[in-house]
């Protein structure tokens, strides 16, 4: 009984004792991140000493499924209990909203991203011609042209250029999957669909003329 009491006291002390991370520590929780991955990240930035205790506390408080994705900035010593409360309350750093208009070329997208402060155009252009990245994303050797979905994105300010490109291609694939049946009926491959869309876009910048041209 004494040993159990001692263990319980130690665990309680560990999760309530403030950790001392570096000032301005940033924690980014990805959408759908597991509790284990979140706990491991917190350990790496010295916000949690024992990931297993943090996981146990989160499950005890029934907060393991309530952790919200986003970016958190920590400026002071904080305990594991307070860290969980923070992650349940929501991000402390607002995302940057970036709009990619319809009809933008890959070069124009890169310019928008550079202007919004996400990295130099040369970095994005280098990634867009990286054979390993193209293969990983299932893109043709011609690059990203036509595979960046026009949308408004809430981007974490710590997002990497590669992460941003992956996000935009995932959005394209999500919409492409919804059109897969129609594309198959038309006897078109994904590349053929992208090529056709690019041709239509070059023919006109007016939305109301696209249906006529595609016909």
Residues 6+ positions from 206 with CB-CB distance below 8 Å = none
Integer Cα distance of 121 and 214 in angstroms? 32
The helix or strand, by DSSP H or E, that contains position 180, with its residue range, turns out to be helix 180-185
Closest alpha carbon to 169 in 117, 119, 122, 100: 100
pLDDT of residue 193: 54
C-alpha separations of 196 from 135, 164, 183, 200, 215 in Å? 22, 25, 11, 6, 11
Burial 180-207 (b: 16+ CB within 10 A, else e): eeebeeeeeebeebbbbeeebbeeeeee
Integer Cα distance of 58 and 2 in angstroms? 25
pLDDT of residue 5: 65
pLDDT of residue 213: 43
pLDDT of residue 200: 45
pLDDT of residue 210: 44
pLDDT along the chain (215 residues), means of 10: 60 71 81 91 89 91 88 86 92 87 92 92 95 93 89 86 94 74 60 52 50 47
Contact 84, 63 (CB under 8 A): yes
C-alpha separations of 80 from 16, 47, 89, 103 in Å? 6, 7, 14, 47
pLDDT of residue 129: 94
């Amino acid at each position: 009984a004494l040993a159990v009491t001692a263990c319980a006291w130690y665990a309680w002390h560990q999760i309530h004792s403030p950790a001392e991370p570096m000032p301005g520590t940033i924690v980014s929780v990805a959408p759908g991140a597991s509790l284990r991955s979140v706990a491991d990240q917190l350990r790496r930035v010295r916000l949690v000493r024992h990931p297993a205790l943090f996981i146990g506390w989160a499950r005890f408080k029934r907060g393991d499924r309530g952790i919200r994705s986003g970016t958190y900035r920590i400026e002071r010593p904080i305990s594991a209990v307070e860290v969980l409360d923070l992650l349940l309350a929501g991000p402390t750093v607002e995302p940057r909203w970036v709009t990619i208009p319809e009809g933008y070329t890959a070069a124009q997208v890169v310019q928008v991203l550079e202007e919004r402060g996400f990295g130099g155009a040369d970095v994005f252009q280098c990634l867009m011609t990286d054979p390993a990245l193209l293969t990983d994303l299932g893109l043709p050797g011609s690059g990203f042209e036509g595979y960046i979905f026009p949308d408004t994105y809430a981007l974490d300010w710590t997002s990497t250029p590669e992460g941003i490109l992956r996000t935009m291609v995932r959005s394209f694939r999500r919409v492409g999957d919804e059109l897969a049946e129609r594309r198959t009926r038309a006897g078109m491959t994904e590349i053929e669909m992208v090529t056709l869309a690019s041709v239509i876009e070059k023919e006109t910048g007016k939305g109301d003329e696209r249906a006529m041209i595609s016909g």
